[in-house]
Every structure is written in C-alpha cells, then in structure tokens.
Amino acid sequence: MNLQLPNGEFDAFLFDCDGTLADTMPLHYRAWCAALEPYAVEFPEALFYELGGIPTPRIIEILNERHGHNIPVAEACARKEALFRELIPQVRPIEPVVELVERFHGQRPMAVVSGGAREIVTRTLAGLGLLDKFQVVVTAEDCRQGKPSPEPFLLAARRLGVAPARCLVFEDTTTGIAAARAAGMAYVLVPPPRR
C-alpha cells in the first residue's frame, strides 16, 4: 500500500483509528456478530463496512430503525465493547500509516479522531505503542455529533490550535471522508489492508 499525500504544506495530521492506524475492522465485525447473536439479528458484512466510522450506539439505533429490530442500545453496546476489548491483543498496525506517524512525530502536531469509545481507542493505541505520539485524542464521548458531522475533526483542530484548512486527515471510510470534507480539510483515503 502506497499512500499518496496531496500537494501542499499541512500544519497538523489527524488520523482515524479503526481501519486507518489499526487493523481492527475484522475484529470489530467478529465482536458485532457475537454481540448481536442473543437478539437473533444478522449483521451483513457489507452493512458493517457501510456504517464504518459511526459510533456504536448509533449503529444499533440504525439497525433498529432500518430493520425494525428492538435491540436494547446500552446493553448491546456494552456487550459489543466488552467482546472487542478481549480481541485488542490481536490488533495489528496498518504499517504505511503508522510509518507516517513515526516519521512526523515531534515535527507536526497530530491527533486521533475516532467514533469509538475513549477506553477502546486508547487501549488500541497503547497496544500498538502509539498513544504517546498524539497530542490530542477525540472520541465519541467528546462530541454531540459523530462523523459524518465535521464536529470531531473541527474539535481536534481547535484543541491542536491549527486552522482546519491546514489539517490533513487520514481516513478509511466514506463517513470519515464526508466529515473531513465538511470540516474543510484535505484528506487521504487509506485503502483496506491486504489480507
């Protein structure tokens, strides 16, 4: 995988976590399937990837709204997060993105901007030895609206003290790219890792 950075100078780099820095998406999918099993709800893999970047509680609400399910949001959310926590030791880095983080650490301010829960995101980053590379970590708990709203990226830029137009976003989902565009930020689409 070769990442093409857009032309121009950027004062800060903002990274999504799942599927961008950390190869977590297959593990998240396993956790989702196990979490939804008691409710007899199928979660097709294509739908899982379509909803990538959206916070866990909102995904459950979407499943209820679109498919007429009655999944208890808080209970299913807690179950899914607990199941994923058990899988964190299996998480591997997405090397080309992590190489960029290593190269620019100490040269540019950097943030992680994730729709995940803070505890999960920080555990994932710590497990990869990356947590101390970022000055700011924005998670679902920090925002009223998650991606595709620009709010998470704008909050990260504000906390870093960098104008949105001077930020470069690294994302793997259409939801995340939509949020970056809405925030007025340039972006790099990170392709899925080869399996």
CA–chain centroid gap for 181, Å, is 16
CA distance 121 to 117: 6
CA distance 50 to 174: 8
CA distance 77 to 44: 18
CA distance 62 to 148: 14
Given 11, 16, 23, 172, the catalytic residue: 16
132 is catalytic: no
Any idea which residues carry the catalytic annotation?
Answer: 16
